[in-house]
Structure 1
Amino acid sequence: MGESPGSRHISVQPKGSLVPQPQRLMLRHKLHSLLYCATPGSLPQCYATDSTLYSATSGSLPQCCATDATGISTFSKRCNSCGLVYRYQDWIHGVHNYNDRVLLSIHLCLFLQFLLQGHVAVGRLRTILQRTTKVKYPREQDFLHAYLHFEAMTQHEYSYSCVKCGHHPPIVIMDLHKKGVFNMPVSDISAAPENFDGEVNSEEFWDTMSMEMVASGLLKRGETNPYRVKPSYEYWAPWIGRETRKAPTVVNTEWQKVQSTLPPDSTTDMDITEERLCDEVMKLKVADVRRLCKACGVGHQGSKTDLIIRLKGEMQNRAAYDKIFQKVWGASGGWAAILCPCGIVYSVKFLVRAESPRDFADLLFSWKHIPNICIYDFARGLATHANLRRPGAIPFTPFEGRLAESTDDNIKAARAGELSVDLPWLREKGTTEAGGHPVTGSSQHYVLYDRFHEANSRDPRDALRRLQLVPELAGQVNTQVAEQLFGDMRRNNYYLNMMSPSTHIFMVRSLIQVHNDLKNQAMRHRIAQALGPQQNLGLDGLGRLIIEKEMPAALASVRPNKTTWGRPLSLAQREQLANALRDGPDPVVEQPYQVSLEDFRSLAGQGEL
């Protein structure tokens, strides 16, 4: 940026509150102030663009624009040899450059980021600012793309991991957000290529998605974005945290929902999308069901049950099924999510067709370690589907993912609430088995129903998938974390569902990232308060919070307080003392806190212990 008559340039340091902290905000792409093109003999040509700087309030403008945000020119350089353009894209002045005409203060960008967590659309904020500041803001679409440009240029980790459960949670809850959809007729998607094996490079896909947002600031109005991504079967990837997934290449086999290659006798056990769609139709009001019947050319007279029976018969026709599906679900299939019991999202998959257990199997097969306990509202379908897809290494064993063998006695005891299945490795890691989970050491994998869906199954064997049968899980796991997340995200549907597919999924991934960050920060804060300010918290090799072993310098001179030694010890303290003083190797009282004989000797001089 440079000066021209009648204009000002942004080159002075703004107010301290506007300077982005390096540890909090970093440019995704390292850009430097380049003076010349690398082409030999090239000379730069400078040109100016009239710009306007927008901020949340006039008090948050940089010092150079303390009174107003107009009269600014953005200077760029264009190589006269290759035509490459160099433009201002630094954040050191507290300004984000979208397209040389629209500039956003970093304060406004961060304000927008957290405002979205409050379910306020970018367009609504634009209207409010325009009316209160009496400044004409850019078009709503340009304002939204300017914010998305900022998010794409920000170096987010998108770690999708919980600081309590680590990178590989042993217990997960899986569910579908049916109402989170984008406009996309299913008929617009072409069939997958014959040689497609269902593997997609997730990093490459999401980098292309980010480049679409970045390129929007470089294109002239009306130009086609070369990085635009359209929904397809062969190039559409979920997002899974880098430490959680096996590799950048993930599994997406949605195209096989159209042409099933599994045996006919097994498809009824897992692929019942028509029945699941009927369940959703049952939740509609009578007036909505009548309108749906009219749209499908079905008789709309009679009771609600009569109408649903007619629609169910019509669903045998694929065209009618798609029409009913779009009316009930929206255009796309919503998005599937896998969460830990703390409510942190680990994986998200944006569906182009109706949900089936295949979608969650794709996500789990992309994980480095399949969780020991998977809680899902169609547990039997997921276990059957996954085991049929991997017959050589059956993922859900023993007992096909049930808690006990499906004998008449076990089923009867489970229904009566008299069966109890103890899984001690959920409390404390046992001996690591071959292929065992890194947190529990167990190689057992179960698929269970939550309390609110266990009565939905008509198979008597599913009584052995009840969460309440496991003492370590009953009353200990919040199985509604997914519903709570969807309830919160549902308040964003009024603007998310109006977006294009690429904008929709980019925005949702960003919203979930901020959601995860806020939950992890709150969890860190609670743990730090419980342990006291003297403890240093860090992450172990599995991504879980632990107390750092190094003692802070401020505690190096602290000595034992002998005045308290005469007080009687509590039962827990006596047990820990006896455990630490027993013969043999240094014991571990409770992971990750280690109490050894040497620790007790350090509390007093020789002969005093």
Structure 2
Amino acid sequence: MSQYQPEAEVVRLIHNRRFMELAAGMEHVSVIKPGEELEARPIDDTLFACPLCPKQKATTWRRIQGHFEGHVNTAFRFEDKVICRCGLPCRDAAHYHCPLCWTTIIRKEQMRFHIKYCRRRTAPPVFVPAHSMPPHQRDHDYSQLPPNHSDRSPQRPGVPSGPETGDRPEATSTSCDSPEELVPAKAFPTQTLKRAKCPHCGLLLYKKNLAAHVQRKHTQKKEKPALKSLCIDRANGIFAVRKVFSHGFSTPVHVQRKAGEPQRTTCELRECRQVRALAQRGGLTPTECEHVRSLRFSCDSAAEEPLREDVLEEMVSLNLCGAAAANDCKERQKAARDAGVPLAVLVNFGGSPRQICVSVHEPKTLYYSVLGRVIVTYKTTHNTWHCPCAKPHKSCPHKNVSRWHLFQTRKHLFNCEAPPSTDRSSSEDLEKSVRYVYEKKRIPPDPPGAAVDAPTQTPDKLLPVETVCPLCSDEPPLTDAFLVTDAAAVVGMGGLSRNVSTYNRRCSRCGVLYRYQEWRDGLHNFNDRVILTLELCSYLRINMQSHVSVSTCVSCLEKLHGKKFPPADTILRAYLHFEALTSSECAYACVTCGPSPPVVVLDRHRTAVRDLEVSELRTPSEDYDGQQNISDFWDSINLDMISRGFFPKSSSNPFVVKPSYENWAPWIGTQTRRSDSVFNTEYKKISEDQTEADLSAAAEDSLFDDLLQQQIWRIRKLCRMCNIDASGSRLDLIKKLQEKMENRQTHDKVQRALWGASGGWSVVLCPHGIVYALKLNLREESPRDFADLLLSWKHFPNICLYEFAHDLATHTNLRTDSAVFRPHGGKLAEATPENLQAAAGGKLQVSLPWLSEKSDLPDDADAHPVTGSSRRYALIHKYHEADPDDPEEVLRSADLVPEIPGSVNGPAAEQLLSDMRKNDDFLNAMAPSAHLFLMRNIIQHRNTESNRKLEARQLKRSRHGVFQLKRRKVK
């Protein structure tokens, strides 16, 4: 007995049902008659399914109608009927049902031939009603049915025929007169296909496949056509050739074929040159690569466009190019003119207009300009530039020249017109929604435990709780909730829950959009498509304190649950969205030192913000006084993080904060700063006077010290980057670099490689390691940055411990009308020979008793409220290195003050910087605003944990069980 196969039984029942439909004059569900249409199968009140696609997921009425339109567009039309493609399990693949017989056809072209054949040679079966049949026919006798001669093809000699009709199993007799049993169990037409022999190889195959067999097996392949090419420089024989054979975009490469003296034929691709060199070393005939061979068919030359300087000046006036970049473009134009080569040539092969390539002259022969030219690509859809000499978001001279060329030839690409009114209205509505969420949907710093715990059951629908508009005066009712998506994902520690439906409501009067944003349910909605649980947000926050990135956490959760989570970048932006809505005070104060510490430690953390392009920052206006509103700036940073859940693209997001001299503020605690107006005078670093230029010598020495600490592989990489021979010992390479760094361009290149594009972080902390002020520098760090921070404080500290104490005191005293660091310019004693000799011998002691107990001298208006003294010193701690060239530095040693060494925790600052360096891997890859926001957030949680430990330590040290906290309070 054969084994029962349910799949075969299902197919048999489907065919029997089709035969029944034909017998009863019914049409298949995929055949639409005139005046009819496809009917959706309702699942519930809001979701519907397609009757032809069982694998199609249930969706909304609007989307199912669009799905039906796709069926109609791909349908086959026969007479007045529309035959849609059927996806039911009649066959394994999608197919069409013939309305004249029970045949199913997969391809639409074959359906056209089948209809003609079936219409001409097949007559529909004739069925006699049961009540009119003679008695002997009611016993299921099919001999009276007319024969269907179209079931078999006419027999030809030499061609094997198909199975005879007599071989079919006969139907058994039953006592049931139902129509289903009037049809044989297997009444399918059979057709014998013709066979033919291949004239080339003698293979016997179906005749319909003979042409394809000959084409594939016995037709000689045509040679590949030549790659498109364009002559760029006729004098030197340089061409631009497509890189590969493809229908899409392909970046051109430069190829040289010069016939004069010296004769030269080469391709700039390293792979092509390596193959040629390998053939020469092996004694083989040198072969030409496909790029060089394509030059045989090259006949087109690119027209050079002389670039005008007035266009460049217009770009500078429109802030499309900086003044320094414009001068560099002019110098490169002069160098190209002297060399007799075109500066910039448009390479157009007639492809997609979305990718524009420009060949730019490069006078130096480097690894990316083997033939003295560079291909710069501009993507119009994303407004991005690519050059092989720089990273995607970094500026370079070749990009500036290409921008100059396109601004002159295709100025419409730089048109910054205002968007249409409808888009502007939609953007304004989203702005109101972002501000509403920021003001009304804040999350407490410590949510209740029930909210942090993972929800026991994920809801299927998330609707906004607002039913009326709270922003309108008369609170009009909102529109009915409309579906945003039915495929939202809830991400939590327990895994991933998909197919969650999210809904929005809108105010018909003001247009504000309201969405689900309720933290009390234990969920945090990012963009209506990704929802995080508060438990996961807390887990990510703890991992941030342990220097673990969000991508690592997501990868661990994916491996744990065996599911694919949303992209790590999306979850990171969702976490930043959560932190921006958290009502954290960011006090930045120590429980022991109070809001105004008398002793502070100044230090810096060098980092590289990759997306920070300092060279393209605009020079501030002349009326800018160097003061920033710290509250407004950090509100804009929070709005930037929140708006990422509303605006899908940053190009249309009005809340994006970009670095600029006029809008870039530090963070100082509310009780520590004098007011919301703080200093940020980094724009003055652009053109420093001679006095401040002398102050940067210390930074130059620090850069050289960092160079000495680099490993040999890193030094060799720096040498190759600066076009220096990388062979030799470590000290020889450092000496070569130091000599080359006398050139400003090489110096800046080495500095960016070691310290990054930005100036790093300036940090002010108390002796206990609590951070009080934080600033991300746009340019190279200098004493000016710390002076900006300290001059913004309500009470200037008495003791400032800084590695470059002399530079800090000199710069700060120059900026103020009266000297801030006094007496003796911030030194502990007057620089007399006796004091210098005593300090060098360790015999000089300068006691500052007001550090331990407040001074009882008459109140001074400028005195510090904790110490009662108005003296201020800029000193060097023992873990700092004094300047050996300045003999007066010994008078700035903190060891001369007996009250300082025991009260200052030097390793605390080093530990802070070490912790900050551990976060560089994931922080440096972020945008500047996200980098700034997340660093402040991480330091805030670190301060909170450090204060908790300080309180526990003080409580433990209290005597007789009396819990006393020694806090310094300011009246």
Which band: TM-score by shorter chain? 0.7 to 0.9
2:490 is aligned to 53
C-alpha distance in 1 between matches for 2:965 and 2:692 = 49
**Displacement of 1:353:** 1.5
SS of 2:786's partner is helix
Pair 16,447 (structure 1): closer, same or farther in 2 beyond 3 Å? closer
Contact kept, 8 Å, 1:270 with 1:380, in 2: the verdict is no
1:367 is aligned to 793
The C-alpha deviation readout for 1:70-91, integer Å capped at 9, x for no partner, is 4432232112343211112121
**Displacement of 1:316:** 4.2
2:401 is aligned to none
Scaled by the length of structure 1, what TM-score is found? 0.79
Asked whether 1:413 is paired with 2:838, we answer: yes
The C-alpha deviation readout for 1:459-487, integer Å capped at 9, x for no partner, is 01010011110010124312232211111
The C-alpha deviation readout for 1:75-133, integer Å capped at 9, x for no partner, is 32112343211112121111111111211111111111011111111111111112212
**Displacement of 1:20:** 5.2
**Displacement of 1:518:** 0.4
Contact kept, 8 Å, 2:798 with 2:870, in 1: the verdict is yes
2:936 is aligned to 509
Asked whether 1:44 is paired with 2:479, we answer: yes
**Displacement of 1:315:** 3.6
Contact kept, 8 Å, 1:45 with 1:80, in 2: the verdict is no
Q: What amino acid is aligned across from residue 482 of structure 1 in structure 2? A: A
Pair 516,182 (structure 1): closer, same or farther in 2 beyond 3 Å? farther
The C-alpha deviation readout for 1:375-421, integer Å capped at 9, x for no partner, is 0111111111111111x221100110000000010011001000000
The C-alpha deviation readout for 1:492-544, integer Å capped at 9, x for no partner, is 1111111111111111111000000000111112222333766476966439x
Contact kept, 8 Å, 1:184 with 1:331, in 2: the verdict is yes
Pair 286,166 (structure 1): closer, same or farther in 2 beyond 3 Å? same
SS of 2:940's partner is helix
Matched ranges for 1:381-530 at <5 A: 381-390=807-816, 392-431=817-856, 432-530=859-957
Q: What amino acid is aligned across from residue 484 of structure 1 in structure 2? A: Q
The C-alpha deviation readout for 1:316-344, integer Å capped at 9, x for no partner, is 44332221111111221211100101110
Matched ranges for 1:91-490 at <5 A: 91-179=519-607, 181-220=609-648, 224-261=652-689, 264=690, 267-269=693-695, 272-390=698-816, 392-431=817-856, 432-490=859-917
Contact kept, 8 Å, 1:270 with 1:384, in 2: the verdict is no
2:190 is aligned to none
Of 205-214 and 88-97, more deviation after overlay is shown by 88-97
SS of 2:521's partner is coil
Contact kept, 8 Å, 2:467 with 2:477, in 1: the verdict is no
Scaled by the length of structure 2, what TM-score is found? 0.50
Q: What amino acid is aligned across from residue 862 of structure 2 in structure 1? A: G
C-alpha distance in 2 between matches for 1:267 and 1:221 = 42
Pair 4,336 (structure 1): closer, same or farther in 2 beyond 3 Å? farther
Asked whether 1:90 is paired with 2:518, we answer: yes
For structure 2, which runs of at least 5 residues remain unmatched after alignment? 1-43, 48-57, 59-446, 454-463
C-alpha distance in 1 between matches for 2:648 and 2:854 = 58
SS of 2:520's partner is coil
SS of 2:519's partner is coil
**Displacement of 1:53:** 1.7
SS of 1:397's partner is coil
The C-alpha deviation readout for 1:5-59, integer Å capped at 9, x for no partner, is 689xxxxxxx9733259xxxxxxxxxx943223276664231133322221136x
Contact kept, 8 Å, 1:18 with 1:106, in 2: the verdict is no
**Displacement of 1:309:** 4.3
SS of 1:353's partner is coil
C-alpha distance in 2 between matches for 1:490 and 1:123 = 18
Contact kept, 8 Å, 2:602 with 2:800, in 1: the verdict is yes
1:557 is aligned to none
Of 39-48 and 473-482, more deviation after overlay is shown by 39-48
**Displacement of 1:186:** 2.6
C-alpha distance in 1 between matches for 2:889 and 2:834 = 14
Of 413-422 and 345-354, more deviation after overlay is shown by 345-354
C-alpha distance in 1 between matches for 2:649 and 2:579 = 21
Q: What amino acid is aligned across from residue 443 of structure 1 in structure 2? A: S
Number of aligned residue pairs: 512
Contact kept, 8 Å, 1:274 with 1:312, in 2: the verdict is no
Q: What amino acid is aligned across from residue 212 of structure 1 in structure 2? A: D
SS of 1:19's partner is helix
Pair 455,81 (structure 1): closer, same or farther in 2 beyond 3 Å? closer
C-alpha distance in 1 between matches for 2:813 and 2:870 = 15
C-alpha distance in 2 between matches for 1:338 and 1:258 = 24
C-alpha distance in 1 between matches for 2:504 and 2:965 = 46
Contact kept, 8 Å, 2:800 with 2:873, in 1: the verdict is yes
Pair 115,269 (structure 1): closer, same or farther in 2 beyond 3 Å? closer
Pair 361,85 (structure 1): closer, same or farther in 2 beyond 3 Å? same
The C-alpha deviation readout for 1:116-164, integer Å capped at 9, x for no partner, is 1111111111111122123332111111001000000000101110010
For structure 1, which runs of at least 5 residues remain unmatched after alignment? 8-14, 22-31, 59-67, 544-609
**Displacement of 1:434:** 3.1
The C-alpha deviation readout for 1:278-320, integer Å capped at 9, x for no partner, is 2222222333223212212345455544544443444444332
SS of 2:482's partner is strand
Contact kept, 8 Å, 2:883 with 2:889, in 1: the verdict is no
SS of 1:346's partner is strand
Q: What amino acid is aligned across from residue 489 of structure 2 in structure 1? A: T
**Displacement of 1:456:** 3.7
Report which structure shows greater RCO (CA 8 Å, sep ≥6).
Answer: 1
C-alpha distance in 2 between matches for 1:44 and 1:534 = 61
Contact kept, 8 Å, 2:954 with 2:964, in 1: the verdict is no
Contact kept, 8 Å, 1:160 with 1:513, in 2: the verdict is yes
Contact kept, 8 Å, 1:182 with 1:504, in 2: the verdict is no
Contact kept, 8 Å, 1:274 with 1:315, in 2: the verdict is no
Pair 119,266 (structure 1): closer, same or farther in 2 beyond 3 Å? closer
Q: Which has the larger radius of gyration?
A: 2
Q: What amino acid is aligned across from residue 420 of structure 1 in structure 2? A: Q
Contact kept, 8 Å, 2:592 with 2:966, in 1: the verdict is no
Contact kept, 8 Å, 1:202 with 1:239, in 2: the verdict is yes
C-alpha distance in 1 between matches for 2:941 and 2:521 = 24
Contact kept, 8 Å, 2:592 with 2:968, in 1: the verdict is no
Asked whether 1:18 is paired with 2:455, we answer: no
Contact kept, 8 Å, 1:183 with 1:332, in 2: the verdict is no
